[in-house]
Amino acid sequence: MTRRINAPLLALIARRQRYQHILPFLHGHVLDVGCGGGLLAGYLPAGTTYSGIDTNPQVLAWARKHHPPGQFYQLDLEQQALPPAITQQRFDTVVAIALLEHLAQPQHLVVQLRQVLAPAGRLVVTTPTPIGHRVHALLTRPGWFYRDAAEEHQSVLDARSLQTMACAAGLRMIHYRRFALGCNQCMVVVPATG
């Protein structure tokens, strides 16, 4: 999956909408999975700590330069398990923004992320809705979104599949909402009790 810093106009607008929607759910020790250049770090409230994971070494180099307090890890999420530097920590918030749709088997990652959540932690996920997936594919043609990002989408997820994935990982949904004119969706889940 390719993650860049500079983006087409609609990609920038979509990123800002995602951030606006998820920021109220972020606190404490934050892990950003698929972090790209670590741009989310610049939006976090004071007192939060930030770690990011991405596959792209160039964007991680940029992230390390521009967000030096953050910890960044290079990892292929489809091929590698989370490293001990991550699994030995517990995070108050784990974020996967516009990531799961790029994975052939996103449920495997959700299970891994459940293991690094603090007991009262939250997993915050955004992904295109099925309609948003189609709109995104159409708008890549004139260059308003990244063409390669649309081509890299491997999973189309709806509310039911997100909830099923969460339950299978031992998580309980506390928030679900569509936004961006129904083209995107946010799910917030916490560890299931009992």
Domain ranges of the chain: 9-29+88-191
Tens digits of residue pLDDT in 103-158: 999 999 999 999 999 999 999 999 999 877 666 666 565 555 555 555 566 788 99
Class of domain 9-29+88-191: alpha beta
Identify each DSSP E strand in the chain by its residue range. Answer: 29-33, 49-54, 71-74, 91-97, 117-128, 171-179, 184-191
- How many residues does this entry show for the chain? 194
Q: How distant is the alpha carbon of residue 13 from its chain centre? A: 16
Task: Convert the pLDDT of each residue in 35-66 to its tens digit.
Answer: 999 999 999 988 999 999 999 999 999 999 99
The single residue listed with the structure tokens 């087409």 is 8
pTM of the full predicted structure? 0.86
Which residues, including other chains, have CB under 8 Å from residue 5's CB and lie 6 or more apart?
36, 37, 39, 59, 62
Helix then strand then coil, in percent of the chain rounded to 5, is 40, 25, 35
Give which of 3, 10, 132, 109 is closest to 59, Cα–Cα: 3
pLDDT of 1: 44
What whole-number distance in Å separates Cα of residue 89 and Cα of residue 81?
Answer: 14
pLDDT (0 to 100) of residue 2:
44
Amino acid at 75: L
69, 96 Cβ separation under 8 angstroms: no
- Least confident range from 16-20, 150-154, 167-171: namely 150-154
pLDDT on residue 140: 63
Confidence (pLDDT) at 3: 45
> What integer pLDDT is reported at residue 11 of this predicted model?
60
